């Protein structure tokens, strides 16, 4: 078992996302510390990918910035290794199947274990393809997070039954990015999830304001925010840690 479960023990969880190496790994380190100090319950660390097909323009741009800065999977593992002694919030890597597969699944996932990464979120790995990585994740005690979408309908129970860590509920159709209104009816999906697993569930995609986070956390166990934070980093660059910290505090207070 990983430490992911513990993240949901102090009320509703707030889960921020950041693209590693945007604008550079030193800033990423400082942002991670600031997130932890200000109440993040799990930190999603994005490993940049050249062609992130599930991302909207904001996170796509962050991936491009990070890769053009030359960051690699090895550099990111080194960074995690360094910061693990200072931060004890659980980490989840969020990246694309090819980043893991091409590194060597066994080598990637065992290094997750060794450096202290608790979970893996792969948006291009649906239930049917879990077999690609699930046995190795199990071997090294890394949770492979399952995603459920508003279009999952008859698939929700099947996915929830095998979920580990937490269930990532995608709030709406489309790619990542802030939305002014989240109008999917997630109630029935969450009800089915609850009936089929005791693993907590958190909602992501489209959330940016404290009001939205509070609303999403009220119907689930937590809220996940990516693009709103990445936008801040694009705006403030190396000065971002302070602004991100203030934002995390506000959001955590809202979901509590």
Partner 1 sequence: MSASKGRFGDHGGQYIPETLMNAVIELEEAYEKYKKDPEFNEELSKLFNDYAGRPSRLYYASKMTKDLGGAKIYLKREDLNHTGSHKINNVLGQALLAKKMGKTRLIAETGAGQHGVATATAAALMGMECLVFMGEEDTVRQALNVYRMRLLGAEVIPVRTGTATLKDAVSEAMREWTRRINDTHYCLGSVMGPHPFPTIVRDFQSVISKEIKEQMMETEGRLPDAVIACVGGGSNAMGSFYHFIDDGNVRLIGCEAAGKGVDTFETAATISTGRSGIFHGMKSYFCQDRFGQIAPVYSISAGLDYPGIGPEHAYLHDIGRAEYVPVTDEEAVCAFEYLSKTEGIIPAIESAHAVAYAMKIAKDFTPDQNIVITISGRGDKDCAAIARYRGEDIHE
CB of 33 to partner 1, least distance (A): 26
Phi, psi (deg, nearest 5) at residue 69 = -80, -5
Q: Which is nearer to partner 1, 129 or 183 (CB)?
A: 129
Residue 230: CB minimum distance to partner 1, A: 15
Q: Smallest distance, Å, CB 130 to partner 1?
A: 6
DSSP assignments along 18-55, one per residue: EETTSS-HHHHHHHHHHHHHTT-SSEEEEPP-S--TT-
Chain length of the chain: 256
Q: Kindly tell me which of 175 and 224 has the beta carbon lying closer to partner 1.
A: 175
Least distance in Å: CB of 241 to partner 1?
Answer: 26
Closest CA to 36 of 254, 215, 252: 252
In the bound state with partner 1, the residue whose beta carbon lies nearer, of 53 and 235, is 53
24 or 124: CB nearest partner 1: 124
Shortest Cβ distance from residue 85 to partner 1 (Å)?
25
Closest to partner 1 by CB, 3 vs 132, is 132
Q: What is the largest CA-CA distance in the chain?
A: 46
The helix or strand, by DSSP H or E, that contains position 13, with its residue range, turns out to be: strand 13-19
CA distance 51 to 147: 20
Hey, what are 198's tokens?
């005791």
Q: Which residues bind partner 1 (CB under 8 A)?
A: 49-51, 53-54, 56-57, 60, 64, 67, 72-74, 96-103, 123-132, 134, 147-155, 158-159, 162, 170, 173-175
- State both tokens at 214: 């509070």
Distance CA 123, CA 220 (A): 20
């Amino acid at each position: 078992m990983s430490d992911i479960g513990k993240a949901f023990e102090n009320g509703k969880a707030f889960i921020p996302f950041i693209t590693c190496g945007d604008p550079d790994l030193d800033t990423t380190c400082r942002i991670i510390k600031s997130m932890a100090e200000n109440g993040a319950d799990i930190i999603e660390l994005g490993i940049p990918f050249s062609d992130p097909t599930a991302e909207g323009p904001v996170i796509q741009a962050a991936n491009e910035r990070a890769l053009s800065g030359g960051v690699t999977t090895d550099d990111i593992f080194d960074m995690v290794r360094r910061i693990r002694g200072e931060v004890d919030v659980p980490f989840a890597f969020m990246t694309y199947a090819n980043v893991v597969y091409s590194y060597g699944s066994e080598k990637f996932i065992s290094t997750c274990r060794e450096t202290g990464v608790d979970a893996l979120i792969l948006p291009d790995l649906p239930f049917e393809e879990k077999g690609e990585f699930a046995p190795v994740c199990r071997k090294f005690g890394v949770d492979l997070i399952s995603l459920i979408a508003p279009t999952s309908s008859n698939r929700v129970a099947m996915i929830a039954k095998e979920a580990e860590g937490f269930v990532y509920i995608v709030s709406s159709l489309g790619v990542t990015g802030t939305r002014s209104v989240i109008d999917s009816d997630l109630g029935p999906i969450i009800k089915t999830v609850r009936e089929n697993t005791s693993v907590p569930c958190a909602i992501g995609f489209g959330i940016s304001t404290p009001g939205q986070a509070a609303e999403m956390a009220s119907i689930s166990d937590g809220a996940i925010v990516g693009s709103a934070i990445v936008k801040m980093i694009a705006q403030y660059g190396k000065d971002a840690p302070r602004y991100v910290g203030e934002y995390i505090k506000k959001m955590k207070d809202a979901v509590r």
